[in-house]
Chains A and B, each alone.
Chain A
C-alpha cells in the first residue's frame, strides 16, 4: 500500500489552500508544456483512433509516453517525498528521469547545463535555442485538437449491470494503479455502465491497459469511513475499471 494511492479520507490535515492559479511559479509552465508535447509525440499514437501519421513526424522522440508513465513516476516515489514535493516538482523529476533512462540525454549533461544556468544569470535570462521542424508543432496542435480517445469495442459483455452491488477488490496497486486505495474491499452500487470499453494505453501490473468496461459506482461514505467521521446526506461516485471489481 502506498500512501499516495490512499489519500481519500485522511484525517488531521490543514485547511484547504484555495490558491486558484494554475502555475504558482513561472517554471512550472515549461514542464507542463514538455509533458504535453511528449503526449502528442508518443509512438503509440500511430494506433490511435485519430489519424496520426506519427512515424512521419520529424522528431527524435520515439518513445511511448502517456499519463500512465507520468503518474507512475509520482506514484512510485517515497511517500514522504510525494507530499514534500509540489505537483509540478514531481513532474520535473519524473520527466527528466525518463529522458535520461531512454537515452535522449545524460544525467551529466542535464546537471552541467542546470549548474551553468544557476551560476550565470546572463545565460539564465538568454532565450532558448532556436529552430526545429514545423511538422513537430503541427502534430502537437493536431493532438490537442483531436486527442486520444480510449474508447474501444467491447471485448465481452459487461459483467455487471445497473443496480448491482459490487465489491472493490483488495489488490496491490503495483507501480501504478487507477484504483483509489481507500475504496478497496468496499461495497458500491453500479449506477451506470458506460457504453463501450475503455483502454488505458499503458499496461499496469494490476490489470488495466486493455479495453474493458468502466462503471460509475456510488459509494456510501459511512461504508468506507467510520460514521462519526462522515457527513450527512452525501454520496461518493467513482469511475472504476471492471478488472478492479468482483461480484458480492
Chain B
C-alpha cells in the first residue's frame, strides 16, 4: 500500500478508523435522506462499466486505423467521441471539455494536475494513485525525463517533452504512438494493448 513520507507517524489503526468514519458518514447521510442506499454503489458501478479507460482505448484504436478520424479527434475530442457507439455521457462529468495531444517520434506528451488531480473521466475513468501523489505532481513538471525513466520509459534528448498541467477547465489526455508489429490488427485487438498509463504519457504501448 502506498504510504506518505516515512517520517510521518500514523496510528496503527489508521485505515480502520477511516473505514469506520466513512461508513458512519454514509449511513447517516442515508438515514437523513441526503443520498440513498444505492447512490455510492451506483456511482462506483458507473465507472466500472460506462466510463473508464476502455473508452479511451477504443478512441485511440480508431485513430490508429483511421487518419481522418485521428485528425477530428485531435481537433475536437468531444465531437469525435460522438462518432463512436458509446453510452451516453462522453461529454458528461469531468469530460465537458476534453483535449487529446498526440505523441510522435518528435514530441512526447505527459499530463499532470499539480494542484489536484483533474482527469478526463469519460475517456480514462478515475486517476490512478500515482497521478494523485504529490511526488509525481511536484517532480514531473521540472524533470519529466527522470520521472519517465522511473516508469521505464526512456526519451531521447532529441524528442521534445511537453507537460500539460490542468489548472483550469480543460481535461487533457494523450494519443500514444502505435507500436511496430501491429499492422494486421483490428480495432478491438489494438484497444486491448492500451493502458491508462499509455494514455497519460508515462508508458509506451507494447505488443
Question: When each residue 34-70 of chain B gets 1 if its CB lies under 8 Å from chain A and 0 otherwise, what string results?
Answer: 1111111111101000110000000000000000000
Contact, CB under 8 Å: B51 / A144: yes
Taking the complex as formed, is A221 at the interface, i.e. its CB lies under 8 A from any CB of chain B?
yes
> Within the complex, what minimum Cβ distance (angstroms) separates B4 from chain A?
6
Give the nearest-CB partner of B26 in chain A.
A30
Taking the complex as formed, is B184 at the interface, i.e. its CB lies under 8 A from any CB of chain A?
no
Contact, CB under 8 Å: A15 / B165: no
For chain A, residues 224 to 248, give those with C-beta under 8 angstroms from any C-beta of chain B: 224-225, 229-241
Please indicate the chain B residues that have their CB under 8 angstroms from the CB of A64 in the complex.
none
Taking the complex as formed, is B28 at the interface, i.e. its CB lies under 8 A from any CB of chain A?
yes
Taking the complex as formed, is A184 at the interface, i.e. its CB lies under 8 A from any CB of chain B?
no
Inter-chain CA distance A29–B19, complex, in Å, is 10
Q: A21-B129, A132-B35 are in contact. Are A114 and B24 (CB under 8 A)?
A: yes
> Within the complex, what minimum Cβ distance (angstroms) separates A82 from chain B?
8
Please indicate the chain A residues that have their CB under 8 angstroms from the CB of B1 in the complex.
24-25
Contact, CB under 8 Å: B169 / A150: yes
Contact, CB under 8 Å: A231 / B20: no
Size of interface on B: residues with Cβ below 8 Å to A:
91
Contact, CB under 8 Å: A229 / B128: no
Q: A104-B32, A235-B161, A237-B165 are in contact. Are A128 and B39 (CB under 8 A)?
A: no
Give the nearest-CB partner of A149 in chain B.
B96
Contact, CB under 8 Å: A234 / B136: no
> Within the complex, what minimum Cβ distance (angstroms) separates B145 from chain A?
5
Inter-chain CA distance A144–B31, complex, in Å, is 24
Contact, CB under 8 Å: B151 / A237: no
Inter-chain CA distance A92–B24, complex, in Å, is 11
Q: A9-B138, A74-B116 are in contact. Are A231 and B25 (CB under 8 A)?
A: no
Taking the complex as formed, is A16 at the interface, i.e. its CB lies under 8 A from any CB of chain B?
yes
Contact, CB under 8 Å: B91 / A178: no
| B93 partner, pick from A74, A114, A143, beta carbons under 8 A | A143
Inter-chain CA distance A27–B150, complex, in Å, is 29
Inter-chain CA distance A31–B144, complex, in Å, is 31
Q: A129-B31, A234-B145 are in contact. Are A148 and B96 (CB under 8 A)?
A: yes
Give the nearest-CB partner of A19 in chain B.
B129
| A9 partner, pick from B23, B31, B92, B142, beta carbons under 8 A | B142
| B8 partner, pick from A84, A136, A143, beta carbons under 8 A | A84
Inter-chain CA distance A20–B164, complex, in Å, is 20
Please indicate the chain B residues that have their CB under 8 angstroms from the CB of A130 in the complex.
30, 37
Taking the complex as formed, is B104 at the interface, i.e. its CB lies under 8 A from any CB of chain A?
no
Please indicate the chain A residues that have their CB under 8 angstroms from the CB of B28 in the complex.
99, 105, 109-110, 113
Please indicate the chain A residues that have their CB under 8 angstroms from the CB of B178 in the complex.
none
Q: A59-B35, A144-B92 are in contact. Are A20 and B18 (CB under 8 A)?
A: no
Taking the complex as formed, is A8 at the interface, i.e. its CB lies under 8 A from any CB of chain B?
yes
Of B17, B21, B30, B125, most buried by chain A (CB within 10 Å of CB) is: B21
Q: A129-B37, A149-B96 are in contact. Are A114 and B160 (CB under 8 A)?
A: no
Contact, CB under 8 Å: B20 / A118: yes
27 contacts between A and B (CB under 8 A): A8-B114, A8-B138, A9-B141, A16-B133, A16-B136, A16-B150, A17-B129, A24-B2, A34-B25, A34-B35, A37-B40, A59-B35, A82-B134, A83-B4, A85-B4, A87-B133, A95-B25, A99-B29, A115-B20, A128-B26, A140-B43, A141-B46, A144-B46, A148-B96, A214-B168, A236-B163, A239-B169
Closest 3 A-B residue pairs measured CB to CB? A132-B36, A33-B40, A113-B24
Q: Residues of B at under 8 Å CB distance from A?
A: 1-2, 4-5, 8, 13, 15-44, 46, 50-51, 88-89, 91-97, 114-117, 125-130, 132-139, 141-147, 150-151, 157-170, 196-197
